[in-house]
């Protein structure tokens, strides 16, 4: 099973009001195991970066000025994503920006039926708990000490670890598959124990036992069941 964990950085919160995507980071999982394949890109948004957004991710106008437009790398991104499910934290936000950018370069949107939202998973797994990426990393003991600012690829790497924990932990998917389609290189599936079942033993009372029981009941002078 192939899945893509992804995250985006943007100029703001609403693509419908002119905000643009400026970074995307994608991590490939096969059977919930990272393969090492990634896609990462920065984009020139053709607009200025608001100060509030720059404080979040540190991507300013000078840094983005010589970066390609989204349309220049759209084909490469779509080839990497292919038809896999896409996993994101607050996935509706990232899908909105991804599909807005695809629309601007006359590409078909990514169907939301492929969307997996880790916030929705975390709400079911940990009702009432804090659901931020930082909070979930803390809950699962995932080191985020190197995360001083938001970054799409770094956040996708952290989210990949969180997603594995949310969907069963590190015991699942321990069949490791090499990137180039080579065969299985390791498996830790436990051996199936074969059990021998004995035929059932008879438990019916003998005629002598039934007679003894009847005699015992008759010896009770004031039985409670005859109240």
33-42 and 21-30 beta bridge pairing: antiparallel
Distance CA 187, CA 141 (A): 25
Express the helix, strand and coil content of the chain in percent, nearest 5 each: 40, 15, 45
H or E stretch including 30?
strand 21-30
Q: Which residue among 40, 85, 150, 213 is the active-site one?
A: 150
For residue 15, how many C-alpha atoms fall within 13 Å in the half-sphere facing its CB?
Answer: 20
- Neighbouring-strand partners of residue 39: 26
Check: CB of residue 29 under 8 Å from CB of residue 172.
no
Write down how long the chain is.
227
| Helical packing angle, 91-104 and 118-125, nearest 10° | 170
Distance CA 213, CA 79 (A): 80
Distance CA 69, CA 7 (A): 18
Residue with tokens 């991104």: 77
Q: Check if 150 is active-site.
A: yes
Q: Which residues are catalytic?
A: 150
């Amino acid at each position: 099973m192939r899945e893509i964990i992804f995250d985006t950085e943007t100029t703001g919160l609403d693509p419908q009001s002119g905000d643009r995507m400026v970074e995307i980071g994608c991590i490939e999982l096969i059977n919930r195991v990272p393969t090492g394949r990634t896609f990462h890109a920065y984009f020139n948004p053709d607009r200025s970066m608001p100060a509030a957004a720059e404080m979040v991710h540190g991507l300013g106008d000078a840094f983005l000025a010589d970066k390609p437009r989204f349309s220049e790398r759209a084909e490469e991104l779509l080839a990497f994503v292919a038809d896999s499910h896409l996993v994101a934290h607050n996935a509706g936000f990232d899908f909105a920006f991804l599909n807005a950018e695809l629309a601007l370069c006359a590409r078909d949107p990514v169907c939301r039926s492929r969307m997996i939202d880790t916030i929705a998973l975390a709400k079911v797994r940990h009702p009432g708990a804090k659901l931020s990426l930082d909070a979930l990393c803390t809950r699962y003991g995932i080191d985020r000490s190197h995360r001083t600012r938001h970054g799409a690829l770094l956040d996708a790497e952290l989210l990949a670890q969180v997603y594995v924990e949310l969907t069963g932990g590190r015991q699942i998917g321990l069949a490791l598959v090499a990137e180039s389609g080579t065969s299985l290189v390791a498996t830790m599936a436990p051996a199936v124990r074969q059990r021998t079942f004995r035929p059932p033993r008879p438990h019916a009372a003998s005629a002598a036992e039934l007679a003894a029981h009847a005699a015992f009941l008759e010896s009770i002078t004031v039985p409670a069941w005859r109240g």
